[in-house]
Structure 1
Amino acid sequence: MSSILDSVNKRTQLVGQNRLELLLFKLNGRQRFGINVFKVKEVLQCPPLTALPKLNPVVRGVAHIRGKTISVIDLSAATGGRPIENTDECFIIISEYNRSVQGFLVKSVERIINMNWEAIMPPPQGAGRYSYLTAVTEIEGELVEILDVEKILDEISPVKTQISQEMDDKLTIDRDRHYHIMVIDDSTVARKQIIRALESLNLQIDTAKDGRDALNQLEAMAENMDNVAHELPLIISDIEMPEMDGYTLTAEIRDNPKLKDIKVVLHTSLSGVFNQAMVEKVGANDFIAKFNPDELAAAVNKHLSL
């Protein structure tokens, strides 16, 4: 199964072209799910798991893989479904999110498909399992659901969102100005994390659920002003989003004379050296890996204090 990812390193040219590749998998039942290949480090048959006391109930245990101990999360149980049975017949997807490595227990892994972000749509509104989705798409006449992994991980081990006192003392931003910024992320949880991290800066924060939503809002502002950056000097944008990714959004902003002066900080769980190259290619001002509130506050301080 690891051979399914042998060519991952050759696929980085898709980044910045509003394209992605999804690794398709199933939990319990026929429903297909997808995860971005760039977040996947390895796929392998589930090894023996060691149960530890006081683990979250959806963490099935830890696996010892290549000298490292990795927590293995039952994705079915984590999204409100029944636990996956017969783990020795299942697979784990080793992935990296927000600077941490974890394994996701799945029933089966199918294949990798090449997609355009425009074909990835926001999920239906509703409770239950739908609240764990960031997007959906259609493949071969069937719905594929893309899980909000940041929400799942935050429920298991909430991230620290408050900036440290040491960092707060270093900030030079004029908090009485109530700077106007925009936060763009397809994960509701991620948007709330960013807002909480920046609370002490006294910002006026607009939000958008994806790049297309953000661009529509910015273009509407541009209809009434010549330079939107005077009103909204900074945006913080995720990269992976339905309909329009963060790289494409940044390129669209730079191509619009009324938007081009807005500073763009890309804030994402993606990692890899290709990101820095893309930051420069599309004209973003900064790139920050999720999620460190001090680094986020420092970047906002830098770009609003210039």
Structure 2
Amino acid sequence: MNDQHDIEQRVRLAGSNMFELLLFRLGATPKTGTRELYGINVFKVREIIAMPVLTEVAGSSDMILGVADVRGEIIPVIDLAKFTGCVAREGNRILLVTEFARTTQGFAVEEVDDIVRLEWNRVLSAEGHSSGKTVTSIARLDAHPGGRLAQVLDVEQILRDVLPPSEPEINEEHTGRLVIPAGAKILAADDSGVARALIEDGLTAMGVPYIMTKTGQEAWEVLNRASEKAVRDGRKITDDIALVLTDLEMPEMDGFTLTRKIKSTPDLQAIPVVIHSSLSGAANEQHVRKVGANAYVAKFVASELAAVMRQAIAGAAP
């Protein structure tokens, strides 16, 4: 699939608050022995191949099966079954080659099941349903109650646990200060717990107050309340919400839909929107511009995030 066709397909899906979920199985679960369904956004998956020959790397994490040579690129292969506690009785037969958060890696799975197209409102946050950090959300695969469910994995958390990045401490020395109107806040939305913690550290280093939300729907509700208050007080909306920083993949309402709704609402469209996503790459940068965002930055480098937010605020100023 070429990049332009890929971008157009994503824009069409985003316009309908939809996405495609790749479903796979990791083996038997530890408590019930059930072969549960797990999922990952199709647009994070570069290719699906039979498990290649692996080379075990001395001293690596026991969550790493080894490295593989995939089309001339050496990539680590993460044992998702071991990470989730499943037992892959039929073996890790399939490799999902994924690209996100500026990295390429492979996820070993037992079996690929299907690709399904879903509305984001059929994906609900897993917070409150699980004390673990491995799953961000639960997807209802069937429209009727009591149907199949799939667990959407928090790949950002998995990567940080298995392959922790070497990055500088997040502080003002690296981010600089971000100047916004007195009394205003940054509104941020991200469904990943590890991403929210990093964003909070970054915004604190920039010296700005913020409102943190877990879904696009939650952020949209915050914006509507802020808009009503701004109208009552006779203030500009940007005096209260200086910028929206949003992830793309989120339960209930994704970042594409949130951005489109902001930019198509007269009382909100002056707010600069920065999309902050692990869906990195040139194709995704073109994609987010098509839905009206002021800027895009790949996760997660605090100094780059600060610079892009600064530029977006300056560019949106009258």
Report the alpha carbon displacement of residue 278 of structure 1 after superposing the two structures with TM. Answer: 3.6
What displacement does 1:127 show?
Answer: 4.2
Distance 1:151 1:161, change over 3 A: farther
Q: Which among 80, 83, 88 is matched to residue 78 of structure 1?
A: 83
Out of 211, 219, 225, the position equivalent to 1:206 is 211
Structure 2 CA distance for aligned equivalents of residues 232 and 62 of structure 1: 45
User: Which amino acid is the alignment partner of residue 207 of structure 1?
Assistant: M
Paired position in structure 2 for 1:233: 242
What aligned pairs does 1:43-192 form with structure 2 within 5 A after superposition?
A: 43-79=48-84, 81-82=85-86, 84=88, 87=91, 90-123=93-126, 125-127=128-130, 130-140=132-142, 141-159=147-165, 160=167, 162-163=169-170, 167-168=174-175, 171=176, 173-174=178-179, 180-192=185-197
Q: Distance in 2 between matches of 1:185 and 1:154?
A: 16
SS at match of 2:158: helix
Count of residues in correspondence between the two structures: 296
Which residue of structure 2 aligns with residue 19 of structure 1?
18
Output the CA distance in 2 between the equivalents of 1:257 and 1:161: 40
* Cα distance, 1:179 vs structure 2: 5.1
AA paired with 2:26?
A: L
Choose 228-237 or 275-284, whichever is displaced more.
275-284
Q: Which residue of 2 aligns with 1:242?
A: 251
d(CA) in 2 for partners of 1:167 and 1:202?
12
Residue 32 of structure 1 corresponds to 37
| Offset at residue 161 of structure 1 (A) | 6.2
Report the alpha carbon displacement of residue 42 of structure 1 after superposing the two structures with TM. Answer: 0.9
Deviation track 1:174-202 (CA, whole Å, cap 9, x = no partner) reads: 48957510111011111111121233211
Match of 2:32 in 1: none
Task: Go from structure 1 to structure 2 and tell me whether the alpha carbon gap of 1:191 and 1:49 turns closer, same or farther (over 3 Å shift).
Answer: same
Q: Are 2:298 and 1:299 equivalent residues in the alignment?
A: no
- From the superposition, tell whether residues 179 and 203 of structure 1 become closer, same or farther in structure 2 (CA, over 3 Å): farther
How far off is 1:272 after superposition? 4.4
Share of identical aligned residues, percent?
Answer: 35
| Matched-pair contact (CA < 8 Å) for 2:184–2:238 | no
TM-score by length of 2: 0.84
What stretches of structure 1 of length at least 5 have no aligned partner? none
Structure 2 unaligned residues grouped into runs of 5+: 29-34
Contact 2:180 2:242 in 1 (8 A): no
SS in 2 for 1:216: helix
Root mean square deviation of aligned Cα: 2.6
For 2:227 and 2:267, how far apart are their aligned partners in 1?
A: 6
Is the CA contact (8 Å cut-off) linking 2:278 and 2:299 kept in structure 1?
A: yes
Pick which of 194-203 and 21-30 moved more: 194-203
- 1:64: Cα distance to partner? 1.5
After TM superposition, give the deviation of residue 243 of structure 1 in Å.
1.2
Shift of 1:229: 1.4
Q: Secondary structure at the match of 1:57?
A: coil
Q: Deviations over 1:31-81 (max 9, x none)?
A: 0011111000111111222111221121111112111111111112223x0
The answer to whether the Cα contact below 8 Å between 2:136 and 2:154 also exists between their aligned partners in 1 is: yes
